[in-house]
Amino acid sequence: MNDRMHETTPPSIYIISGSTGSSGTQMVRTALAQFQDEDVPVHIVGQVRNTELLEEIVHEAAKQHGIIVHTLVDGALRQYLIALAQEQHVHEVDLMGPLLGQLTSCLRQQPLSQPGRYRVLHEQDLRRIDAIRFAVEHDDGKRTYELKEAEIVLAGVSRVGKTPIGVYLATMGWKVANIPLAQGVKPPEELFQIDHRRVFGLTTQSDRLVSYRQHRSHDLGLRAGSAYVDPARLIGELEFAYDLFKRGHFTVIDTTDRSIEENADEIITLINRRFGN
């Protein structure tokens, strides 16, 4: 009965890494995409630095008739795992050992065997990628329940530059969220619950806002005379936003006739001054 069950149930895959397991996971997911079988259970076991944990994983994989895929850079741990898997008849796939061996021969030097070194070397790039993802997920008032995770929050009415400034800051590694403000619409309470020193209220001169809105309304196909571009209404929107900025003690940034880079540099300077580099 158990044998027949294992014939129809795909074996679990255990990804073992001395760091986060991201590289091994990517390789396994890429390979699994070539198969039409049902979903294969994948278990990621990171930060493996001792033989005791290896013994637990191999024992579990043996019970589940699983497969072990590993990216251990520590030579001693890697050899221990391979021997242990052979002893308990567990299939293991070494993604790192053969490559390190070839590179050792070609480069004529020994590897450092430091888990997580790639992430350390590329921390800035990884942070930038994470920040861009955060900005996209928290654009235009989305996921306000996570607003406290933002390093910078931009607030303002439509077309004052929240999204382009936020994206620019994100490419520099800052986690940015932006909150749209509209007259008569209650802003999220989370905006007033976070550290006000991280919130920047963006504004601009009313005639510039009219021009930006007219250009945008043409792209959207809005009819002429729409409230979206009505000068009197826009002045009211800017006043409404400014009152909110005063209420929250937010720093006001006037984006009129300034480039995205200039506005972003001012925000970064203020954030660094308030919280340190």
pLDDT of res. 222: 61
**Residue bearing tokens 């009505």:** 230
pLDDT of res. 70: 96
* Angstrom distance (rounded) from CA 70 to CA 93: 6
Residues 186-209: what's their mean pLDDT? 94
Q: Contact 240/247 with Cβ under 8 angstroms?
A: no
Q: What angle do CA 88, 43, 10 make, to 5 degrees?
A: 70
Q: Tokens for 222?
A: 């809005």
* Angstrom distance (rounded) from CA 87 to CA 274: 58
Q: Tokens for 217?
A: 């309304």
> For residue 244, what are the CA distances in angstroms to 155, 177, 222, 274?
10, 17, 28, 22
DSSP letter (8 states) at residue 115 = T
- pLDDT tens digit sequence for 91-142: 999 999 898 889 889 998 888 888 877 766 667 778 888 999 999 999 999 9
The CATH class, in words, for 123-275 is: alpha beta
Q: Which regions of the chain does DSSP assign to beta strands (E)?
A: 13-16, 42-45, 67-70, 91-94, 152-156, 176-180, 199-203, 251-254
> Taking 90 as the threshold, does the pLDDT of residue 81 lie above it?
yes
pLDDT of res. 10: 84
pLDDT band per the 50, 70, 90 thresholds, residue 4? very low
Lowest mean pLDDT among 104-118, 162-176, 209-223, 260-274: 209-223
Percent of the chain with pLDDT over 90: 65
> Taking 70 as the threshold, does the pLDDT of residue 223 lie above it?
no
State whether residue 249 is helix, strand or coil.
coil
DSSP letter (8 states) at residue 19 = S
Per-domain boundaries in the chain? 2-120, 123-275
> What CATH topology corresponds to 2-120?
Rossmann fold (3.40.50)
**Rounded mean pLDDT of the chain?**
89
pLDDT band per the 50, 70, 90 thresholds, residue 17? very high
Q: Model-level pTM? A: 0.60
* Angstrom distance (rounded) from CA 119 to CA 145: 29
pLDDT band per the 50, 70, 90 thresholds, residue 5? very low
pLDDT of res. 127: 86
**Residue bearing tokens 């027949």:** 4
SS (H, E, C) 61-89: HHHCCCEEEECCCCHHHHHHHHHHHHHCC
Q: Do domains 2-120 and 123-275 have the same CATH topology?
A: yes
- pLDDT tens digit sequence for 45-74: 999 999 999 999 999 999 999 999 999 999
pLDDT band per the 50, 70, 90 thresholds, residue 249? very high
Percent of the chain with pLDDT over 70: 90
